[in-house]
Amino acid sequence: MILNERDIRHAHVIEIAKQMMTAARTAPKGKGFDIIEVALVTGEDLNILSTRMVEMGEELGFKFFLRDAENILSAECLILIGTNEQAQGLNCGHCGYDTCVDRKQGVPCAINSVDVGIAIGSACATAADCRVDTRVMFSAGLTAQKLGWLGTCKQVYAIPVSASSKNPFFDRKPKA
């Protein structure tokens, strides 16, 4: 049997994306509370996300949303990583308030922010170990958050994944 890499690439990238999801799940969490959510986006849902990103880019006046909306269409898949809101009760002040009780509604717990960042780093390290291309995207993550794709998660980020001869997520030209 002869397997051409082009014929198995998509399935291989999906398997790597699943490993990335596991890496995000098993990443260390503040106080041991697992409030991270992780999902895989493929196929037509990439088109739905891209279309909504264009709309949000126009609504918000952010041109990079337009560039990124086109860019994710070069991905085999995309991983979403977000965090639910849960104050950790440390009264650490890292959120800008002296105590967790003082923290205003909608201001994220800094520990939650660190948790999602560590999960993203762990997922991207796994991708690098497997030699696939990625880029962390605020734009696609925020759009997915607004679409409710990770339920009530806040601070959602997206990681498109590709295995092509050139990384499509870097050396990008801004949209006019």
Residue 171 pLDDT: 73
Question: Domains in the chain, start-ordered, CATH in brackets?
Answer: 5-162 (3.40.109.10)
173 torsion bin: left (phi>0), alpha (psi -120 to 50), beta (else): beta
Residue 20 burial by CB count (10 A; 0-12/13-18/19+): exposed, middle or buried?
buried
Give the distance, in angstroms, between the CA of residue 153 and the centroid of all CA atoms in the same chain.
12
Residue 86 pLDDT: 87
Residue 15 pLDDT: 98
Residue 176 pLDDT: 61
Residue 168 pLDDT: 86
Per-residue confidence of the chain (176 residues) as pLDDT tens digits? 998 999 999 999 999 999 999 999 999 998 888 999 999 999 999 999 999 999 999 999 999 999 999 999 999 999 999 999 888 889 999 999 999 999 998 899 999 999 999 999 999 999 999 999 999 999 999 999 999 999 999 899 999 999 988 888 887 666 66
Q: How many CB atoms lie within 10 A of CB 32?
A: 6
Closest CA to 12 of 77, 73, 64, 59: 77
- Find the helix or strand (DSSP H, E) in which 6 lies: helix 5-26
Check if the beta carbon of residue 96 is closer than 8 Å to that of residue 175: no
CA distances from 176 to 61, 67, 68, 70, 116 (A): 12, 9, 13, 13, 32
